[in-house]
Amino acid sequence: MKKNCKQCEKEFEITDEDLKFYDKVSDVIKGKKYSLPSPTHCPDCRLMRRLLFRNEKNLYKRKCDLCGKSGIFVFPENSKFPVYCVDCFWSDKWDPLKYGRDYDFSRSFFEQFKNLMNVVPKMGLYHLSNENSEFNSFIAYSKNTYMSPGSHFLQDCVYSRKSHYSKDCLNCLSVGDSELMEGSSNSSHCYDCKSVFNCSNCSDCFYMADSIGCSNCFMCSGLNKKSFCIKNKQYSKEEYEKLVEEESQTDVEKIMNEFIEFNKTIPKKYQNQMNCENSLGDFIQNCKNAEMCFDSFNVQDAKYVVECEDVKDSMDVNMHDKNIQLCYEMSCGGDGNYMSKFNFCSCVSPESSYLFACFYASECFGCDGINSKTKNCILNKQYSKDEYEVMKGKIIEQMIKNGEYGEFFPISISPFAYNETVANDYFPMTKEEVLKRGWKWKDRDLKEFLKSEFVVPSKIEDTKDEVLNYVFSCNECGKNYKIVSLELDISRKMKSSLSKKCPDCRQKNLMKFKNSKKLFDRNCDNCDVTMKTTYLPEYAGKVYCEKCYLKQVY
């Protein structure tokens, strides 16, 4: 089936397998099936819509509306709804069910849900069991960690988005089981590495890409179990150390540009997969029958999955971790979701739909802020099981007639401006483009772009503690930023110069080392076999199928 996207108007395909999945996750209430309509938006626009509800790096200092204590939150002071600190949100000082209301069949569901959202208190930061890690959201089980959203089990890490089980990491993206890492992405089981991309089991390596099991290598790509190499050329230990010492005197930007150009000369694997079977995507591991999946682990029989772990038999799921099964259009939640649909940030909420930041809300529909074991609620109002099923069926019938059912929350009810959210990272737009669509935009505060008189020292050895007192201007966008003490500590441990760019530009530059989340037809540059790859058709370098890549590179 071919359809045109309601938002971007581009044509997209809905396969027979997709239709079977929609039928499988359709609600059955008292023996009647309420068939889930096929999507009206293309996969990209569906993802964009879900990401528009996730603000993970724009934090605001304000007071908790319950205890009055000052703290750091993802919602600004002028939000329409109350905002609670983490402790207050989980406390028994308030009851989400007190905001419950009757459903009005003379009004649309999304209109009523928006009204509910405007009054129910929101958790200011999405935290779980962290220590000294207040400047983060969507983070769990971490200690002494700063501005590392979407991460878990980190210690002493700064600006390390979507990372896990790591320590002493700085300016990283998607690193795991690693220590002493700086400026790296999509790498695991590495130690004391700088600017490594798509590498594993490497140590003491700098400016590396697509390599496994290497140590003491500099500016290399596509290596396997090598040591003392520079630009893929073997050297003795003494020669290597002398040459690297000479290179270390060169400007960091110049070295990076030289590495980028060298990296283009090395053949690339059509897709970055590890231990995968019958799967299509990039940066995926331990996956089976995973189609159009990216930056994900342990995915089986799933499609359109982004930045997830442990997902089975689901579609259109992003940033969702642990024990997810038979779910559809789910964003930013975790553990214990089964037969759930259209939820943002829900955990342990099986057989529930249209939840916003709800926890332990099983068999609920259209609820906000549920924070304890609750069942059979609609718009935060409690029903008996029989009453709930009857009411839910009637609401779904109305939503189907209105064209609401089968759609994620509309962008208009997102509490954030477009450029505050992860949507702007994945699908960057100008202010004019956003406003033309009728969406919200947050103008930059000119006070954050004042010219600084201070210059970041070029060498970490020359950097004194007083650098923590200065405000710097980003060399790329001009935004002001400060150096935090943990950032200085890690830089000293790694003998790495402090960045002259703001954290936002650092992350944008890391994103450049990731391919687009799309697949293109291309012929292997070695054997000419047709393959699906995430490399753009205009990519000038060589791209090999898996067989040729393993033979030629490793």
Distance CA 523, CA 529 (A): 5
CB 237 within 8 Å of CB 225: no
Average confidence (pLDDT) over 400-406: 96
* Backbone torsions φ then ψ of 51, nearest 5 degrees: -70, -20
Structure-token pair, residue 531: 């393959």
Residues 533 and 494 in one domain: no
pLDDT of 542: 95
- Using the predicted structure, report yes or no on whether residue 427 has a pLDDT greater than 60: yes
Query: Residue 83 domain-assigned?
Result: no
pLDDT at 334: 82
| pLDDT surpassing 70 at residue 338 | yes
Residue 363 lies in a domain: no
* Percent of the chain that is helix, strand, coil (3-state, to 5): 25, 30, 45
pLDDT of residue 516: 85
39-71 core/surface letters (b: 16 or more CB in 10 A; e: else): bebbbbbbbbbbbbbbbbbbbbebebbbeeeeb
Q: How many helices (H) and strands (E) does the chain have?
A: 12, 41
pLDDT, averaged across the chain: 95
**501 found inside a domain:** yes
Which of 57, 40, 51, 53 has its CA nearest to residue 117?
A: 53
- Average pLDDT on 315-341 reads 94
| List of E strands, 14-146 | 27-29, 32-34, 60-63, 70-73, 83-84, 122-123, 127-128, 139-140, 143-146
**Residue 137 in domain:** no
Classify residue 532: in a domain, yes or no. yes
Does 471 fall in a domain?
A: yes
The pLDDT of residue 484 is above 80: yes
Domain residues for 524? 520-552
Average pLDDT (379-408) is 97
Is residue 550 very low, low, confident or very high in pLDDT (cuts 50, 70, 90)?
A: confident
The mean per-residue pLDDT over the stretch 345-360 comes to 96
Across the strands, what pairs with 33?
A: 28
* Domain shared by 452 and 488, yes or no: yes
Residue 552 is predicted with a pLDDT of 76
pLDDT band at residue 299 under the 50/70/90 scheme: very high
CA proximity to 103, closest of 93, 94, 111: 111
Least confident of 237-241, 301-305, 535-539: 535-539
Residue 553 has pLDDT above 70, yes or no: no
Q: Is residue 32 part of a domain?
A: yes
pLDDT score, position 246: 87
Q: Are residues 525 and 495 in the same domain?
A: no
- Give tens-digit pLDDT for 88-110: 999 999 999 999 999 999 999 99
Is 458 in the same domain as 481? yes
Residue 178 in any domain: the answer is: no
311 with 305: CB under 8 angstroms?
Answer: yes
Q: Averaged over 382-389, what is the pLDDT?
A: 98
Q: Percent of the chain scored above 70 by pLDDT?
A: 100
Percent of the chain with pLDDT over 90: 92
Looking at the structure of the chain, the number of domains it has is: 3
Q: What is the mean pLDDT of residues 493-500?
A: 94
Residue 415, pLDDT above cutoff 70: yes
pLDDT band at 322 (very low <50, low <70, confident <90, very high): confident
Q: What is the mean pLDDT of residues 346-366?
A: 97
